Amino acid sequence: MREITYRQALNEALAEELERDPNVFLMGEEVAEYHGAYKVSQGLLERFGPKRIIDTPISENGFAGLGVGAAMVGLRPIVEFMTFSFSFVAFDQVVNNAPNMFTMSGGQFNIPITFRGPNGPAHQLGATHSHATEPLYANAPGLKICTPATPRDAKGLLKTAVRDNNPVLVLEAELLYSSKGMVELPDEELLIPLGQAEVKREGSDVSIICYAQTVQLALAAAAQLEEENISSEIVDLRSIKPLDEKAIFDSVAKTHRVVIVEQDRPFCGVGAEVCYRIQKNIFDALDAPIIRVSQEDVPMPYNERLEKAVLPNAGKLIAAVKKVCYA
């Protein structure tokens, strides 16, 4: 193990998969000569050449669809969206073509494509650039969605996504790109299965269910809560779809209290689905109503103070935990 950044972890995952399989290629805006808007593809053009590291014009619908078509005939494209907020321009390709093809063709055409890029609010990017897209895509059957929160998960999940035979969205986070963490050495194959949550911290009083950017938030809150003698278990979903119900239920059966902290909006958000499944399956295990901490239901304001007010934060999360613990 050694410590690397989330950005380096993604870069290693891309390089290893490009090296392993000649059918893999990376395509997107500024991925080649500019080395990626967030430098995730640094050095890949020099190593793999312009045939496999491909700059595109600003045509998300066009190049996302090109990726799906290439996947129909056996290539394994990795399509980068500069941010998933821009993926809306390609929405038809991502929700209508990629995941429907396998069904519509009666199982003749699976689409082994990876769509990746930063997702979720960053810092003062305003309404158009701050979308957390996961609930929208989670509503489309046929897609798989993962949301790595650490460098290790970023590498292991991206590599698995590239090898998966279905369309997979790897939702990264701009605010995590420079974060550091321990990751296996490059000569150790690191594959993390989709649909497998991870308990990032064990605890006994409350389950805090989180993913992506809210994992660090939950860990920080847990440290603070520990000082007040509240022991939090942090369950990082890692994948939104498939959803690891077992890991969620196991934790809830242990703590009997749940707070879900998510980076998306409240209405039909990821937490709504998680919450529904908990009450439906293990209602008797609950000692308190579940509370969700999410964004406020407004388009993201530019103003820094208002943006902070919209986002989930440690204060909101701690208050929610205390409420479910009647503390």
Partner 1 sequence: MQPAEQRDEVEMLALMLLIRRFEERASQQYQAQKIGGFCHLYIGQEAVVAGAVAATRDDDYIITAYRDHAHALARGTNADACMAELFGKETGCSRGLGGSMHFFNRSRHMYGGHAIVGAHVPLAAGMAFAIKYRGEDRVTLCFFGDGAINQGSFHEALNLMALYKLPIVLICENNLFAMGTSVKRSTSLKQIVDRAEGYDIPGEIVDGMNFREVRDKLAEIVSSIRKDPHPAFVEIRTYRYRGHSMSDPASYRTKAELEKYRLDDPITRLRAQLTREGKLTHEQFDKIDKQAKETVLASVKFAEKSPEPPLEKLYDYTYADGAKP
Nearer to partner 1, 68 or 247 (CB): 68
Q: Return phi, psi of residue 306, to 5°.
A: -70, -40
Of 13, 44, 45, 72, the residue at the interface with partner 1 (CB under 8 A) is 72
C-beta of 200: minimal distance to partner 1 in Å? 23
Q: Which tokens hold the place of 231?
A: 């022991």
Secondary structure (H, E, C), 186-243 = CCCCCCCCCCCCEEEECCCCEEEEECCHHHHHHHHHHHHHHHCCCCEEEEECCEEECC
Verify binding: residue 280, partner 1, rule CB under 8 A: no
Question: x/- binding map, residues 161-180, to partner 1, per CB under 8 A?
Answer: ---xxx--------------
Binding to partner 1 by residue 65, rule CB under 8 A? yes
The most distant pair of C-alpha atoms in the chain lies apart, rounded to whole Å, by: 60
Question: Applying CB under 8 A, does 204 fall inside the site for partner 1?
Answer: no
Select 184 or 273, whichever has its Cβ closest to partner 1.
Answer: 273
> Among residues 98, 109, 188, which one has the least CA distance to residue 152?
188
Q: Determine contact, residues 304/124, Cβ cutoff 8 Å.
A: yes
When asked if residue 271 is in the footprint of partner 1 (CB under 8 A), the reply is no
In 3D space, the residue among 119, 122, 184, 165 whose CA is nearest the CA of residue 146 turns out to be 119
DSSP H stretches of helix in 79-181: 91, 101-104, 134-138, 151-163
Task: Kindly list the catalytic residues.
Answer: 60, 129
Q: Does 229 bind partner 1 (CB under 8 A)?
A: no
Q: Which of 42, 43, 88, 109 binds partner 1 (CB under 8 A)?
A: 109
Q: Which is nearer to partner 1, 90 or 320 (CB)?
A: 90
Binding mask 17-56 for partner 1 (x = CB under 8 A): --------x-------------------------x----x
Extract the tokens encoding 221.
């809150």
**14, 45, 53, 70: residue in contact with partner 1 (rule CB under 8 A):** 70
Residue 33 or 74 with smaller CB distance to partner 1: 74
CB of 310 to partner 1, least distance (A): 29
On the CB side of 13, CA atoms within 13 Å amount to 30
Determine if 61 is a binding residue for partner 1 (CB under 8 A): yes
Q: Are residues 112 and 121 in contact, defined by beta-carbon separation less than 8 angstroms?
A: no
Binding site for partner 1 (CB under 8 A): 25, 51, 56-57, 59, 61-75, 77, 92-93, 96-97, 101-110, 112, 141-142, 144, 164-166, 194-195, 241-243
